Structure 1
Amino acid sequence: MKLDLADKTAVVTGASRGIGLATVRALREEGVRVVGAARTLTPELRASGALAVSVDLSTADGVAALMDRALTELGGIDLLVNNVGAGDAVEPVGFLDTDDATWSAVFDLNLLSAVRATRAALPSLIERRGSVVNVSSINSRLPGAGPVAYSAAKAALAALGKSLAEEFGPQGVRVNTVSPGVVRTAVWEDPDGFGGKVAAHAGAEHDAFLRQLPEAFGITTGRITEPREVAALIVFLLSDVAGNITGADHVIDGGTVKTL
């Protein structure tokens, strides 16, 4: 399948590892010029062929600096992937243990970063009849499965995608959402990350915890999703091959979500 993305320009947030890095690599393979943004720039991102930009995407100033740099370097934006999410504030705790500061931090990174980046990119996206993909989570559909603030922020992000698609679709801009389930990223695999914290709360050894994740989440395929699989879906949705898909939320979770 030819996606015809060569010579397009793209901005990818949360690009240093996991889904973001896989998306950068997939776009580069298609000939796209990419600006990849993250708070910490990894050697893998630097080696990807993208222009790597270090910014704090949880702040308005950080997003503004990113988009100014991207517009200057690229001359305009055809594609935007709002992937940054989770963050240090996401802890495996319940509602009563989630204070206002945590709510604000989680929403700043998981929702408002996308609001701010999209607002800045929209004039160029409208001019170029571009495309946006927001990376949400199945937590938006299964809020009991994860931290309450994170689940609420991801549900809001999915709703934002619907609203943007409706408002700017007549001007040629498509907006879609991708909602992954458990993906093989540092979120789960880092012993000091969210997965490690969940394992510790459960009194489980981390490696054993990872092995039983497919069964614990009821994943029909029996395995967790790879970052490159999510990236392939994102890149397809960005392309004109998916030219009449907009306002949709695409779940990629190995069959975790069982509801209609």
Structure 2
Amino acid sequence: MDLQLTGKTAVVTGGSKGIGLAVVRTLLAEGMRVVTGSRTITAELKETEAVPVTVDLTTAGGPARLIESAVAELGGIDLLVNNVGVGDTDDFAKGVRFNLLELPDDAWEHTFNLHFYSALRASRAALPSLIERRGTIINVSSVGARAAAAGPANYNVSKAALNALTKVISEQFGGQGVRAVTVSSGPVSTGVWTDPDGFVGRMAREQGLPHEVFMEQLISASGVTTGRLAAPEEVAQLIAFLASPVNITGSEHLIDGGMIKHV
């Protein structure tokens, strides 16, 4: 299937690993030119043909600097994938362990800077080019936005805000040819789940359980109908399809193995 992406340009935030790296690889395979921004440039990212930019996207000026670098490199932007997220395992764990009375302001601020403000700032910086090229913004969210009471509260609330941002962009700039779409994943086989020192691995040690056993228990308890983690490549394939010239905007697309049960 030809997605008609050959020769187009993309910016992917957080493209050094996990879902972001899979998106970079998939878009390159579809013939796109890609610039990606992250705090570190991994060996796996260096093996791709993407142009990496070292940048801290949680800072006020980081996203704009990435977009400026991308425009200089690519000449313009057809697609922005706001993917960066999770970050440090300790920060992620705070949202699980602490309730609203215990979770400090700096935890909320860091989480919103990473998951919401990075996307807002990158979108704002990229919109002039996206309007000119009738481009697309894809925000990578989480099913946690629909289940705010479960899991890291600050993370889930920030993702709910990101979902709302998609709607705002779609409504405000759809008339100028810009599409905005949300992709919400359930459990994905990234380091958060599979790395022994990742969030799930550390929780398993605290519970005195083997990593694999604890992971299977979490998947079951989460209500994942398929009984397995999604692969980052599966999320990337959905993103590539939504980046193609289809009449889809303002909507959320789940890739959660059936975790969300309500209509």
TM-score (norm 2): 0.95
Deviation at 1:201, TM superposition (A): 4.3
Q: Which residue of 2 aligns with 1:146?
A: 151
Hey, what's the Cα distance between the residues in 1 that align with 2:102 and 2:229? 29
Hey, what's the Cα distance between the residues in 2 that align with 1:200 and 1:103? 26
Deviations 1:74-115 (Å, cap 9, x if unpaired)?
111000000001111211323233110000000000000000
1:145-164 superposed matches below 5 A:
145-164=150-169
Hey, what's the Cα distance between the residues in 2 that align with 1:84 and 1:131? 17
Hey, what's the Cα distance between the residues in 2 that align with 1:39 and 1:22? 17
Hey, what's the Cα distance between the residues in 2 that align with 1:60 and 1:163? 21
- Counterpart of 1:143 in 2: which secondary structure? coil
Return the match for 2:190 from 173, 176, 185: 185
The question of 1:17 aligning with 2:17 is answered yes
The question of 1:119 aligning with 2:124 is answered yes
- Counterpart of 1:37 in 2: which secondary structure? strand
Hey, what's the Cα distance between the residues in 1 that align with 2:256 and 2:151? 15
Hey, what's the Cα distance between the residues in 1 that align with 2:253 and 2:26? 18
Hey, what's the Cα distance between the residues in 1 that align with 2:159 and 2:151? 11
The question of 1:82 aligning with 2:79 is answered no
1:1-260 superposed matches below 5 A:
1-88=1-88, 89-91=91-93, 92-95=96-99, 96-240=101-245, 242=246, 244-260=247-263
Unpaired runs of 5+ residues, structure 2, are none
Hey, what's the Cα distance between the residues in 2 that align with 1:39 and 1:123? 25
Whichever residue aligns with residue 84 of structure 1, its letter is V
Hey, what's the Cα distance between the residues in 1 that align with 2:136 and 2:62? 22
Report the count of equivalent residues: 258
RMSD of aligned Cα (Å): 1.2
Of all paired residues, the percent bearing the same amino acid is 56
- Counterpart of 2:53 in 1: which secondary structure? strand
Hey, what's the Cα distance between the residues in 2 that align with 1:110 and 1:149? 10
Hey, what's the Cα distance between the residues in 2 that align with 1:23 and 1:209? 28
Single out whichever of 129-138 and 188-197 deviates more from structure 2. 188-197
Whichever residue aligns with residue 50 of structure 1, its letter is A
Deviations 1:114-136 (Å, cap 9, x if unpaired)?
00000000000000000010000
Are the counterparts in 2 of residues 36 and 45 from structure 1 also a CA contact under 8 Å?
no
- Counterpart of 1:90 in 2: which secondary structure? helix
Whichever residue aligns with residue 90 of structure 1, its letter is F
Hey, what's the Cα distance between the residues in 1 that align with 2:136 and 2:226? 30
Deviation at 1:144, TM superposition (A): 2.3
Hey, what's the Cα distance between the residues in 2 that align with 1:113 and 1:145? 24
Hey, what's the Cα distance between the residues in 1 that align with 2:206 and 2:120? 33
- Counterpart of 2:27 in 1: which secondary structure? helix
Whichever residue aligns with residue 165 of structure 2, its letter is L
Moved over 6 A (4+): none
Hey, what's the Cα distance between the residues in 1 that align with 2:235 and 2:218? 18
- Counterpart of 2:149 in 1: which secondary structure? helix
- Counterpart of 1:117 in 2: which secondary structure? helix
TM-score (norm 1): 0.96
Hey, what's the Cα distance between the residues in 1 that align with 2:190 and 2:11? 21
